[in-house]
Structure 1
Amino acid sequence: MSSMQKMILSTILITILFIGCGKNQPMQKSNKINSVVTLITYKDFVESIGGAEVVVTSLIPPGANPHAFEPVPDHIKQMSDADVYFKVGGNFHFEEELMSGVSVSREKLTIIDCSTGIKIINNNPHVWLGPDQVKIILKNIYSALVRFKPDKEEYFNTNLERFLTKLDSLETQFKNKFNAADRKTFVVYHEAWGYYANHFNLVELAVEKEGKEPNVYHMKNIVEEAKKNKIKVIFSEPQTNRQSALAVAHEIGANIDFINPHPAKYLNNFIEVSNKLLESFK
């Protein structure tokens, strides 16, 4: 065997040994807080506060309708592998079914009810759409993350204050604009915007009634109210069937537009929704 062949063979053997040793090395566990949330919007909340210290999985993917979504075994596994589950709380029914399976899978999972401290109004679970409620949600997330990583308290607090400052600024900006608007009533398909409407002293009229398709009597009332308030736009959602909303829009000669109650980026969506509502009041 020539010296060149010996050198090549030695190189191959060293490479094989190196790869083999690498495979036998135990995988290091990530130092990040492995977090699971129900909704994509809460992923934004946790990532905004946790920053580089968290990895977040949303059980319900973007574009899916949470009211029609059912948990599957993979969701149970994701939660069983997690350190903490930030649940919406309140009366979000999807989570009730989900938790019945998780309690058996992993008893050590830390569960944070993000609705703690929030007053639920009219059994409306959409607390993440009201600015005042979002501030409570963010503080609940912050407190939980600090318990996991006390040494990162200052980092988490800086992120929290940054988010709250942006939200406060937007809140003031749009409150002034809504106060100056001639009209305050808007029509939506799904009754999701009650907390938002209350915050800005607006009136939400919903085509859907208690999560169900409207009956003839309710449809008649909605059409009458829409005409009385000179509604020009019916707001539907990307995640829902909009046939009933189209029927109302056709009856009163209004257009259909979309506002998203499950945004991937809360602050960006806050601006978009607020501007669309203001435009509809003109």
Structure 2
Amino acid sequence: MNVINKLILVFLASIIMSCQSGKIEKEPNLISVSILPQKYFIERIAGDDFKVNVLIPPGASPETYEPTPNQMTDVAKSVAYFRIGNIPFETVWLGNLLEGADNIKDVDLSKGVELIKGQEKHGDHFHEGGIDPHIWSSLKSVKILSANLYQELIKMAPEKKDIYEKNYQQFISEIDELDNLAEFSLKRKQGKSFMIFHPALTYLARDYNLRQIAVEVDGKEPSPTYMKQLIEEAKRLEIKQVFVQKQFNVENAKAIVAEIDGEVVVIDPLAEDWLTEMKRIIHILKN
């Protein structure tokens, strides 16, 4: 969507919110979130006590998705918005989403996570860019995120504290079990390089001392020169797989694997069944 269309969408949405101001009734158990894994985290702790409104639908990208006016109205009905922290969707749209939402609690779940600066490419060199938003690709970061979420949920339903604490501890135990397995199985892979189209596994790579090589840098597809460099590096490092997030185009990855006699591996860190997908990704990396 171009800038003019985006402005039109914001204008129309603002009209809708203005017209409905004071008329939208809050749904006391409705929480809005940005991505599907957040729904999973909430349900692991609170079961079905809350209705979770996910703004970015399955198959859509947090880098480019644009909410509809109806979604803005749904946010206005919510009692809380739990943001993931730094994804482009939130940076661009959250102000508009919350502007017409009276008495909504805005919670940044990334509080306490050690954030990573992304890379930006200029010519033939890289330098530090903005914050890499993909904290949910890290088991260790999700433990922090879940602790923040748990504290907010028991504030919203203090009578359920004992139940939520039991569920929270069980969830953290399962994350710890997978984290310990990853620490053990990836120990011999320390320093290993893997190639991925969109740099969605930055935090996971930091956790286990792996090196992520991104095909797309700073939201831009690779130039022919950079593609050649990637192919040469993949050959030098004997990389035979290129990861592609489900929400992104696979054509550049196919071009690389054709040159290295490799394969494209589709992953989905945005899957609703977050823990199962993280197990799959770690299993692939350890082989």
TM-score w.r.t. structure 1 length? Answer: 0.84
Q: State the partner residue of 1:67.
A: 63
Structure with bigger gyration radius: 1
Determine the C-alpha separation between the residues in 2 that align with 1:223 and 1:251: 7
Q: Is the 8 A contact 1:47 1:55 kept in 2?
A: no
Determine the C-alpha separation between the residues in 2 that align with 1:88 and 1:104: 18
1:145 to 138, 149, 153: 153
Determine the C-alpha separation between the residues in 2 that align with 1:83 and 1:182: 44
Q: CA offsets per residue over residues 41-68 of structure 1, 9 Å max, x none?
A: 1110111111132111211111112212
Unaligned segments of structure 1, at least 5 residues: 1-28
Q: State the partner residue of 1:189.
A: 197
Work out whether 1:117 is the aligned partner of 2:112: yes
Paired residue secondary structure (1:53): coil
Q: CA offsets per residue over residues 21-50 of structure 1, 9 Å max, x none?
A: xxxxxxxx9996211111011110111111
Determine the C-alpha separation between the residues in 1 that align with 2:91 and 2:215: 26
Paired residue secondary structure (2:53): strand
Q: CA offsets per residue over residues 92-143 of structure 1, 9 Å max, x none?
A: 2211332222333122011111111112201210011111110111011111
Unaligned segments of structure 2, at least 5 residues: 1-24, 118-130
1:148 CA displacement? 1.0
Q: Is the 8 A contact 2:76 2:98 kept in 1?
A: no
Determine the C-alpha separation between the residues in 2 that align with 1:111 and 1:30: 15
Q: State the partner residue of 1:15.
A: none
Please provide the CA RMSD for this pair.
Answer: 1.8
Structure with bigger helix share is 1
TM-score w.r.t. structure 2 length? Answer: 0.82
Paired residue secondary structure (1:264): coil
Aligned residues: 250
Q: CA offsets per residue over residues 232-267 of structure 1, 9 Å max, x none?
A: 111112111111111111111111111112111111
Paired residue secondary structure (2:243): strand
Work out whether 1:132 is the aligned partner of 2:140: yes
Determine the C-alpha separation between the residues in 2 that align with 1:187 and 1:105: 42
